[in-house]
Chain A
Amino acid sequence: AQSVSQHNHHVILSEAASLELGCNYSYGGTVNLFWYVQYPGQHLQLLLKYFSGDPLVKGIKGFEAEFIKSKFSFNLRKPSVQWSDTAEYFCAVNPRWNNAGNMLTFGGGTRLMVKP
């Protein structure tokens, strides 16, 4: 079955540390890729997206992600995290089939805690 895997379920970092969250998917065809963030008590917000073009995409709040097609990966990075980045992060994949529409398959999420 097609799936999205986020291998790090919980990550704890100190402020100013660098962040990389892994995301791998198993879809064989062309896909649109997303990272969403859910801050405590808030709803899911779009961090960044990749549809086509430059595989290194920049999002809000200093986040970026790199699409590596050969590895079926879309890892999220941030050079220096802040306490306010404490949240749950979800990777999501939208297959570009004719009947897929907006269907998103989400990974299980990674809970990031940043210690001040």
Chain B
Amino acid sequence: DAGVTQSPTHLIKTRGQHVTLRCSPISGHKSVSWYQQVLGQGPQFIFQYYEKEERGRGNFPDRFSARQFPNYSSELNVNALLLGDSALYLCASSFDSPYEQYFGPGTRLTVT
């Protein structure tokens, strides 16, 4: 079975730009969560969506937004990028909520 997939793999953006990251969950999984992992630190929770509704939001500014589509895939949007947004963005899917989560390979975002 295919695992969680994320696109793109790498991305370079300039300060002030906008970025959209995409995630496809494992087939049958209804929940998608997003995490930010800065180099040298553990992942930090950004959002969770379950059955297309927001289930949780971490301590991130309103520049971060997300949505989940009817096929359970998800997008993470970040507006007005800052240098500090440079990180690995991880998507995790789970069958239910709360439940064990399976992580994708991540999207490496570099903001210059």
Contact = CB atoms under 8 A, between A and B. Distances in A.
A58 to B, nearest CB: 15
Contact of A101 (B40, B41, B55, B100): B55
B103 A43 contact: yes
B88 to A, nearest CB: 10
B101 A108 contact: no
A10 to B, nearest CB: 11
Interface string A87-111: 0001010101001111111111100
A102 B31 contact: yes
Contacts of A42: 105
Given A36-B103, A96-B98, A106 B44 contact: yes
Interface of B: 31, 33, 35, 40-45, 48, 50, 55-56, 58, 90, 92, 94, 97-106
A106 to B, nearest CB: 3
A96 B103 CA distance: 20
A43 B98 contact: no
Interface string A33-59: 010100000111110010000000000
B100 A49 contact: yes
17 contacts: A42-B105, A43-B90, A46-B100, A46-B102, A101-B33, A102-B33, A102-B56, A102-B97, A102-B98, A102-B101, A103-B45, A104-B33, A104-B43, A104-B45, A104-B101, A105-B45, A106-B42
Interface string A65-98: 0000000000000000000000000101010100
Given A90-B43, A107-B42, A108-B41, A102 B94 contact: yes
